[in-house]
Amino acid sequence: MFSKAVLDHFQNPRNAGELPGATSVVEVTNPVCGDILRLAVRVAGGRIIEARFQTRGCVTSIACSSLLTELLIGRSLVEAAAITPQLIDERLGGLEPATHHAAELARDAVEALLARVHR
């Protein structure tokens, strides 16, 4: 059911945990399934230099959160805005329709992050 990429990110999550001294921390939830994603980043010189996540949710939500941190690190805030659920889906080898909500949750975190950083 899950792609190799989804299973890899779930079994070996990248950048999981807290980020002391984060520039910004956001938390988003999916009220339908109850998944929660807490995303913390450190921004310097207009670029995201570090990102960490904590997710309570399904296999796909954890995998999407892990991939999201990889996609964010090294990107400018403008480049981060281009991260879409479709990009996450593609990079994870295609998500089952019933689990696509996880890619949407990751995108929601990017939107919340950008709104907070641009205040």
Domain tally for the chain?
1
Q: What is the DSSP letter of 82?
A: T
pLDDT at residue 118 above 80? no
Token pair 């990107």 is at which residue? 75
Give the residue numbers spanning the domain of 41.
4-117
CATH number, domain of 88, equals 3.90.1010.10
Digit-coded pLDDT (tens) for 54-86? 999 999 999 999 999 999 999 999 999 999 999
Short-list 117, 108, 114, CA closest to 33: 108
Sheet architecture: strand order including 47-56? 24-29, 36-44, 47-56
Q: Give the pLDDT mean for 2-10.
A: 97
Short-list 118, 103, 110, CA closest to 39: 110
